[in-house]
Amino acid sequence: MERFSELLRREQREWARIHLQDGIPQMYSTLWHKPISRRLMQAVGMETPQLYAHGVSLEEALGAVLERQRGFVKPETGGGGKSTLGLVKSGELFLNTLSGEKASLGVWKDHLENERKLYRGIGHRERWVVEELMHQPGTEASPPHEYKFYSFAGHILLICVRRAVWMHGRANAVFRWFDSDWNPVSTGAYTDRNDNSLLPADLAKRERLRNAAQHVSHCMAVPFMRIDLFDAQYGIVGGELTEIPGASNKFSARWDATLRQAWHETAGRMPEEIRTGRLTEVLEMNRHVAEETRPLWRALLLRGRIQRVRKHPVYTLSRFFRRPFHKPRTI
């Protein structure tokens, strides 16, 4: 039985190729690139953190932090909060908002470079994003909680509350899972970092968070999307949109089956909604964003093809020309 993550990687993208057009499938396949995810979140009416710099080198990113006296630095691609830093000017140094440590920008630059070498390998040319530093309401710099909604065309099935922490010298996180009614559940994911003391927002804020996630989910043109929201200093803020979440290969058999069933039901219903015009406005909005971000996703897809050719030239070129091939013998 294929897992939920495999279903998303194979069947959802095939579903999009069959039922969507005008660049929408390509846009969704590149949502891991944060500027594209951010633009789609803005298009559905969600507030997003102010962008200070994107697509820049690490030196330029830290220069933007120096200019603004604060900022949140993260890689342009990637997830899980890896290689991220919230920094605030404190005297002659910069405060790490997670660890409480103070150091020069040069020290934090070395830290981020070492982190990316660990996760991406030496020689990888990383580009960086600097955003406005969000914080919990009523605090100066405490990172806000993140609410991850596993949604199926407006239906919320699962909620993950994430709290950023500093663990073993790097940014990490602890989690707690809830069903759509905010009842705690055990999903089998992140069991080593589960925090039962992590509580959801107050009752009124829970409802606003869920309503915002449902609104965003209704605007998606594919059966599943994980929608990340923050409870920040000026209210609910849109984070990222994730087509294939990292935790989706770690669910227990029961939750994996529940998520697969929800996907199949939604994927079976949406084509009729497309044919009858119920999703016309949704598709038009997605079409507009796909056209606006076309230069970005086309470059990303081309870069991916080039990387595959470099890695497996015989296999990739034979697929391109649809010719049989024989893998070289290994000696």
Rounded Cα distance, 188 and 251, in Å = 5
Tally of residues, the chain: 331
> What 3-state DSSP class applies to 216?
helix
- The predicted pLDDT at position 177 comes to 95
Lowest mean pLDDT among 39-43, 130-134, 304-308: 304-308
How many CA atoms lie within 13 Å of 300's alpha carbon, on the beta-carbon side? 20
- Average pLDDT value for residue range 122-135: 79
| pLDDT at residue 216 is higher than 90 | yes
Domains in the chain (CATH in brackets) are 4-48+141-292 (3.30.470), 51-131 (no CATH), 298-331 (no CATH)
CA distances from 42 to 46, 56, 79, 221 (A): 5, 21, 20, 15
Residue bearing tokens 């000017």: 89
Count of Cβ atoms closer than 10 Å to residue 210 Cβ: 20
Residue bearing tokens 């290969």: 249
- The predicted pLDDT at position 326 comes to 43
Rounded Cα distance, 319 and 176, in Å = 43
- Average pLDDT value for residue range 222-251: 90
Burial class (CB within 10 angstroms; exposed 0-12, middle 13-18, buried 19+) of 73: buried
According to DSSP H, which parts of the chain are helical? 4-7, 13-19, 24-29, 34-43, 58-68, 105-120, 203-218, 253-275, 280-292, 294-311, 313-321
Q: Which two tokens stand for residue 102?
A: 């103070």
- The predicted pLDDT at position 330 comes to 42
Lowest mean pLDDT among 78-87, 135-144, 166-175: 78-87
> What 3-state DSSP class applies to 145?
coil
Rounded Cα distance, 95 and 65, in Å = 12
Count of Cβ atoms closer than 10 Å to residue 229 Cβ: 24
Angle at 134 between CA 128 and CA 140, to 5 degrees: 130
Lowest mean pLDDT among 193-197, 221-225, 275-279, 315-319: 315-319
| Concatenated DSSP letters of 50-116 | PEEEEEE-HHHHHHHHHHHSEEEEEESS--TTTT-EEEEEETTEEEETTT--EE-HHHHHHHHHHHH
Rounded Cα distance, 312 and 331, in Å = 17
Residue bearing tokens 């990222």: 240
